[in-house]
Amino acid sequence: MNHAREVTGAGRLGKAGAPRLDAFCQAPVYLVVVLMGEALAMLLSLAPGVLEDRMQRLGWTSLFIQWVALVAMGSLCLLRRPLRRLAPWTLAGTVLLVLLSSTTLVSVVAYVVLTDSGWEARVDLWGFVGHALAIALVVGLIGMQYFQVRQSGREALIRQARAEIEALQARIRPHFLFNSLNTVASLIPSRPEAAERLVEDMSDLFRAALSAPHAITLDEELTLVRRYLEIEQWRLGERLRVEWALPDPLPTFTLPALTLQPLVENAVLHGVEPSRTGGRIRVSGEALPGGGFRLRVENDLAENAGRSHRRGNHMAIGNIRARLALHFGPLARLEAAREDGRFVVNLVLDADAIARTDAGEDREEKNDAHPDRR
């Protein structure tokens, strides 16, 4: 049997200091920036010493600030991929530089347009630009201070979530190991050569499973599932029948390591093994309208399936639900039910969950953390 691939991938928790730059492209963030810009415009229009009509000043100031904000946000959205490789404080300085550059550009354009339209400026072009840059610099420095406070809180939350995920995965991995060792033990009396080959296969599998990071790609998780089923095939033979119905190519999102494998293991232990005639396990996946994705694990119910089946599944399902909640928040759900003599588990990911955990972005973060792997 071929060696199992080394499972790699950067967890969605990623580097503790890596900010999420996709925020520069999200509509709710734009709304917040617009509202904050309006608040700044009102503050400037209410300042003492203003000679012109305050409502007129509010209108022009608001228009100017919104243009600066939108140009800066649009530039940061376009530059988010190269910016992702920067260290946090280098990133903060770069964002400030983009803000000042946007302010300069909008100031020059506004000054030229307004003076050509008959506006009587009290200062020359560079005095106007310098005044605008001073205000932008103060606002940018306040934003950097907010960035520092927010990053500190985010890093603390990431460390806490990472510790919780490690504790939950530590409960799954020994269970996986012990059940596989029982498979080997059952083969030793009757088929010692097969048991020896199975130990070699298990070493490949556990090298991948026990060294897996917090999150791996769907393809890597399915590799673990296939290796596990190959091991169980040694023990159960023709009693274990497996069907696959997965799209090609597979989506590139990541999910917590050992998410599907415990579900398939439960299907073997509580659906196939207790039945004299064995049973069928089906692993499928399909894209959902709106960009989501559903993974489905289903198995035939054994004739004597009862409380032990429910207890075994509840432990694994509860553990997986907790890890999904830490990884995806409310963007993923795990549903389990009996349907027409089969036990069915659906893992449903919303489109936002897939977008946030795209493997391409994960690999960029992993390469940033480990430059030697590039």
Q: Is residue 233 part of a domain?
A: yes
DSSP-derived secondary structure for 213-256: -SEEEHHHHHHHHHHHHHHHHHHHGGGEEEEEE--SSPP-BEEE
Question: Of the candidates 122, 156, 190, which is a domain's last residue?
Answer: 156
pLDDT at 371: 39
* DSSP H or E segment with residue 63: helix 54-78
Q: Using CA atoms, how far apart are residues 158 and 179, in angstroms rounded to an integer?
A: 32
Check: CB of residue 327 under 8 Å from CB of residue 298.
Answer: no
152 and 171 part of one domain: no
Question: Of the candidates 156, 185, 213, which is a domain's last residue?
Answer: 156
Give me the tens of pLDDT residue by residue for the chain, a chain 374 residues long. Answer: 443 333 333 334 444 444 566 778 888 888 888 888 888 888 888 877 656 677 877 888 888 999 999 999 999 889 988 888 888 778 888 989 999 999 999 999 988 888 888 777 778 889 889 989 998 999 888 877 877 777 676 676 666 666 665 665 555 556 666 766 777 787 788 778 777 777 877 776 777 666 666 788 999 899 889 988 888 887 788 899 999 999 999 998 988 888 898 899 889 888 888 888 889 999 999 999 988 999 999 998 876 655 444 454 566 788 788 888 878 888 899 999 998 889 999 999 998 888 877 644 444 444 444 434 33
Q: Per the structure, how many domains does the chain have?
A: 2
108 and 190 part of one domain: no
Q: What is the 3-state secondary structure (H, E, C) of 272-303?
A: HCCCCCCEEEEEEEEECCCCCEEEEEEEECCC
Q: Report the predicted TM-score, pTM, of the whole model to 2 decimal places.
A: 0.56
31 and 81 part of one domain: yes
Q: Is residue 312 part of a domain?
A: yes
356 and 261 part of one domain: yes
pLDDT at 218: 92
286 and 356 part of one domain: yes
221 and 368 part of one domain: yes
**Residue the block writes with tokens 């000054």:** 111
234 and 133 part of one domain: no
pLDDT at 58: 84
Question: Of the candidates 156, 190, 208, which is a domain's last residue?
Answer: 156
Q: Using CA atoms, how far apart are residues 237 and 200, in angstroms rounded to an integer?
A: 18
Give the three-state DSSP class for 345.
strand
Q: Is residue 81 part of a domain?
A: yes
Angle between helices 125-187 and 307-328 (to 10 degrees): 160
Q: Using CA atoms, how far apart are residues 171 and 157, in angstroms rounded to an integer?
A: 22
pLDDT at 5: 35
Q: Is residue 2 part of a domain?
A: no
Q: Is residue 7 part of a domain?
A: no
Q: Is residue 132 part of a domain?
A: yes
Q: Using CA atoms, how far apart are residues 327 and 258, in angstroms rounded to an integer?
A: 13
72 and 181 part of one domain: no
Q: Give pLDDT tens digits for 40-58.
A: 888 888 877 656 677 877 8
186 and 112 part of one domain: no
321 and 250 part of one domain: yes
CATH of the domain at 331: 3.30.565.10
212 and 89 part of one domain: no
Q: Provide the token pair at 323.
A: 């890890």
Domain of 357, in residue numbers? 165-373
147 and 175 part of one domain: no
Query: Which of 298, 359, 368, 356 lies closest to 327 in space, CA to CA?
Result: 356
Q: Is residue 60 part of a domain?
A: yes
Q: Is residue 144 part of a domain?
A: yes
